[in-house]
Chains A and B, each alone.
Chain A
Amino acid sequence: MTAALAALLIPLFTALGLLLLRSRSGPLVILTSLATLAAACWALVEVTTSGPQSLHLGDWPEPLAIRFQLQPITALLLVFTALIHLLVAVYAARSRHCRTRDTDYWPLSCLLQGSLNALWLSSDLFNWYVTLELLGLAAVALVALSGRKAYGPALNYLLLSLGASLVYLLGVALIYGRYGVLDITLLATQTEADQSTRVAFWLMTLGLMLKAALWPLHLWLPKAHASAPTAVSALLSALVVKGPLFILWRLWSEAAPVELAIETGPLLAIAGVAALLLGGWSALRTPWLKSLVAYSTVAQLGYALMALGLLMHWQLPALDAALWLFVLAHGLAKASMFLAAGELQATLGSKRVSALRGTTETMPVAMFAFAVAGGSLIGLPPSGGFLAKWMLLEPMLGQSEHWPWVAGILLGTLISAGYVFRVVALAFDRADPVPPDFKPDRFAHWLAMLPALVVWGLALVSQPLIAWLTGATP
């Protein structure tokens, strides 16, 4: 538990330190990020060897205490967060095109990491509210770093995020009024499927779906993610939207009454299919590169939502593995894709997809990173995205009454292939390539490639990973 606490506190103190010292030092953040990664890895080792642990802040007894809980999946998410944060920090410090070098990006990104780690570790409804607010504020401030043109989307994001928090809080208040506890394990033993519980859970779900940009409450995401600086887009898409999703998963798989979960599951799963199709459709249509990547986030979250909905409906814990594999694979692929897209558009001096003509010649590494990451989003074997899709398909195809859901996956795959290859095919166009404004930044391109290679490399550890995820999730 000490290690997990360290993973939470190091970024928070770094953020505070940077603010107090009026420093905006990238290298310092990279160092502390390394320390966080080490702490997170240690926590992972600890939890694998000696099982889940929990900590009562201030040693208060159960119903009053704020409890931090370290489960295997939490530890994995800590490591995942630290990895992505570190990668993006190196990019932000080194890339010529990253406009965040001496800005508030550094303290804010540390704050973001700290609040996200707090979210993973928390296990009561109100604590989650606090971390969500922190996370939302840090994310909004990061989007606004882009300058004047991002103020609109950032403000939009802020208002919706605050509104979503209020809706969530209302649900929390209803639960507290009804049961008098907020801790999720205590709640799990008490909840009944009555009217007020139902309303409370639906309100919380609504708020969280808005925060996680789950269809149909996703409309703020494409603009916000596309207008943010590249490093921020990567953080937001890879990490931030996964926070509310995590809470949603804990709520429904642990605290909610089973009847209620079975009843609500199909709604979420259908929303997931809709996200896949409509998000994918928008990604096919948009003329802007970063919007395309952002819409693909909306679409890909559809897979996760589908896994969650079906997990609730069929009460199948096996789908946990699918859900978290989607989260990991999408996070890695999306970080890679946003970094590549940012580099491509900054080097070409145009934000349009059509500007990518001939980039396989002018910037092969960045384009290859984009394509490799895209392969995982499509779910081509043996990438991480494929493993997740396989885990989701297996229970679907296993019983003939579940077969209709397969159509969602089939269409989702084809539409993702559509928007990924829309870009990749253009990159092979030799007719009139757009010449780059600057010399390509090789280091940044390889940095973008790295997570894409990792997500395909998951194939090498797939069997232990799946076994671990299946055993690790409660």
Chain B
Amino acid sequence: MIWTSLLPLLVVLSSLVPGLLIFTLREDQVRLRTTLNLVGAVVKILLVGLMLWGVANGLEFRFAVPFIPNGDLVLKGDALSLQFVTLSAVLWLTTTIYAIGYLEGAPLRSRFFGYFSLCVSATVGLALAGNLVTFVLFYELLTLATFPLVVHRGTAAALRAGRIYLAYTLGGGTLALLGAVLLHTQVGSPAFIPGGYLQATLGDDRVTLTLAFVLLIAGFGVKAALFPLHGWLPTAMVAPAPVSALLHAVAVVKAGAFGLVRVIYDVFGVNLMTELDLATPLLWLAAFTILYGSVRALFQTDLKRRLAFSTVSQVSYITLGIALLGPIAAVGGLVHLVHQGMMKVTLFYCAGNFAETLHIHKIRDLDGVGRRMPLTMAAFTVGALGMIGVPPVAGFISKWYLGLGALEVGADWVLLVLAGSGLLNALYFLPLLYRGWFGPAPTHWPHDEKLGTGRPGLGETHWMLLWPALTTAFLALLIGILAGTGLSPLNWAQLTVNMEFDL
């Protein structure tokens, strides 16, 4: 085997192997566990970097083993998958650092980091999956790997959230599996190709194709938190902050959204979608979810719950972008996969910092927190402004392309949705910023944990909690500012879309 066929496997193994090793460690082997975590995360980034370089230079990375008749297990690095893989690899590194700081001294860390690594392995496997069977396989494994993280705290609320999470995701997984088998009986499970592999069977059997589409969308829609399948996401908030960050920004919701992208572009293909008129209902559903999530977010008093409903809304931007079936909107949707990840992970890190350092969980307690923790609050501000769509933060770019894309395909009403959602975003984020910066600070913080030096500035909280938030906030700014250059996610998304639409 040559190295190009092994690389996708190595990318998955680079977190799987450390994860399995971590399970065997005793609680007190902190140094070894940290080393394994960080080595795994760094190696993964290097491998992904190598793959990025390779794909940009026209190399093909494909690993395949036989699995079931007509359906091999295929891991393949293409432009689309690399976008998701890179996001996962970068955010895994920052979240690992964050989690090490967050869980310092907490019990059961070996179990936590073990599942944490499995979760990332499943995400990367899913991103690299080269056909529908492989995708469904990793989709289910991701459910299994995240469940222990959701219930990690072991409280009654955590268990309840875990049960709800499982009910939704296993149900969705089963539907997606049925959809995959249904398509498999028609054409087998060939590799994902830009333009969709079902096109050859166009007009063959509308009922079967439509049913398969509905099953797959319902299955992947659960993790993408499409209304009415979003119910698990706000309850899963009881999980520790690094888990929420991972669930909301990278692993779970993105797995769902990425599944939708694959189904629409690489299984059905734009032409078939238009032919069968499958995209319109999805478009309406996405538009409704965007507004619904924002409205619900407005009424939350708990910081993390507000962020959760904001995720419900924001992930549907991706769905909206791809359901518009136009190349510009597609760029907006795909690039939002990365942009939303960066911004949302920042917001969750910051929410976790407030909770860990000052025990702030409710929005009304945010008053004056900017004076005690200015750097965290600054990072939070970048994330929140990005979500609203203020330039030059990354979120603006996504919304710009989504709007242009909607005009391009003649769906002008989408602009209203975008504007309405932007307004709602402002309504539920700006008060937080106002409270944080301009609210009256208490003379003395009642539950100050004195992580770090306890003074505003670089010591305002534990450095392992602060730096990841600053890094991702900086990245969210950077990819917005550098959007026009060759190295940006935007450029990469354009590359992918050119292939999908054969431009």
Nearest CB to that of B212 among chain A residues? A397
Q: In the complex, which residues of chain A have a beta carbon less than 8 angstroms from the beta carbon of B163?
A: 421, 425
Nearest CB to that of B108 among chain A residues? A361
Q: In the complex, which residues of chain A have a beta carbon less than 8 angstroms from the beta carbon of B162?
A: 425, 428
Is B302 part of the binding interface, using a Cβ–Cβ cutoff of 8 Å?
no
Cross-chain contact A431 with B156 (CB below 8 angstroms): yes
Is A302 part of the binding interface, using a Cβ–Cβ cutoff of 8 Å?
no
Is B66 part of the binding interface, using a Cβ–Cβ cutoff of 8 Å?
yes
The proximity string for A residues 444-459 relative to B, scoring 1 for CB distances below 8 Å and 0 otherwise, is 0000000000000001
Q: In the complex, which residues of chain B have a beta carbon less than 8 angstroms from the beta carbon of A414?
A: 170-171, 174
Say how far A426's CB is from chain B's closest CB, in angstroms.
8
Identify which of B181-189, B371-379, B425-433, B495-503 touches chain A: B181-189
Cross-chain contact B159 with A394 (CB below 8 angstroms): no
Cross-chain contact B69 with A463 (CB below 8 angstroms): yes
Identify which of A120-128, A166-174, A229-237, A374-382 touches chain B: A374-382
Q: In the complex, which residues of chain A have a beta carbon less than 8 angstroms from the beta carbon of B178?
A: 393, 397, 406, 410
Within 8 A of B (CB), among A132-178: none
Q: In the complex, which residues of chain B have a beta carbon less than 8 angstroms from the beta carbon of A397?
A: 178, 181-182, 185
Cross-chain contact A400 with B144 (CB below 8 angstroms): no
CA distance A358 to B155 in the complex (A): 11
Cross-chain contact A381 with B136 (CB below 8 angstroms): yes
Cross-chain contact B68 with A387 (CB below 8 angstroms): yes
Identify which of B146-154, B414-422, B456-464 touches chain A: B146-154
Range, interface on chain A: 20 to 34
Is A417 part of the binding interface, using a Cβ–Cβ cutoff of 8 Å?
yes
Q: In the complex, which residues of chain A have a beta carbon less than 8 angstroms from the beta carbon of B147?
A: 421
Cross-chain contact B154 with A466 (CB below 8 angstroms): no
Cross-chain contact A394 with B185 (CB below 8 angstroms): yes
Q: In the complex, which residues of chain B have a beta carbon less than 8 angstroms from the beta carbon of A417?
A: 166, 170
Q: Which of B159, B175, B181 contacts A393 (CB 8 A)?
A: B181
Cross-chain contact A430 with B153 (CB below 8 angstroms): yes
Cross-chain contact B171 with A398 (CB below 8 angstroms): no
CA distance A393 to B151 in the complex (A): 32
CA distance A413 to B136 in the complex (A): 15
Q: In the complex, which residues of chain A have a beta carbon less than 8 angstroms from the beta carbon of B185?
A: 394, 397-398
Is B207 part of the binding interface, using a Cβ–Cβ cutoff of 8 Å?
yes
Cross-chain contact A431 with B155 (CB below 8 angstroms): yes
Cross-chain contact A400 with B68 (CB below 8 angstroms): no
Is B413 part of the binding interface, using a Cβ–Cβ cutoff of 8 Å?
no
Is B304 part of the binding interface, using a Cβ–Cβ cutoff of 8 Å?
no
Q: Other than the known A406-B178, A414-B171, what 10 A-B pairs have Cβ atoms closer than 8 Å? A: A364-B111, A378-B170, A381-B137, A382-B73, A393-B181, A397-B185, A400-B207, A429-B154, A431-B156, A466-B68
Interface residues of A (CB under 8 A from B): 358, 360-361, 364, 375, 378, 380-382, 387, 390, 393-394, 397-398, 400, 406, 410, 413-414, 417, 421, 425-426, 428-431, 459, 462-464, 466-467
- List 28 A-B residue pairs with CB atoms under 8 Å apart, sorted by A's residue number: A364-B111, A375-B144, A380-B140, A380-B141, A380-B144, A390-B68, A393-B178, A394-B181, A394-B184, A394-B185, A397-B178, A397-B181, A397-B185, A400-B207, A413-B174, A417-B166, A425-B159, A425-B162, A425-B163, A428-B162, A429-B154, A430-B153, A430-B154, A430-B155, A462-B67, A463-B67, A463-B68, A467-B69
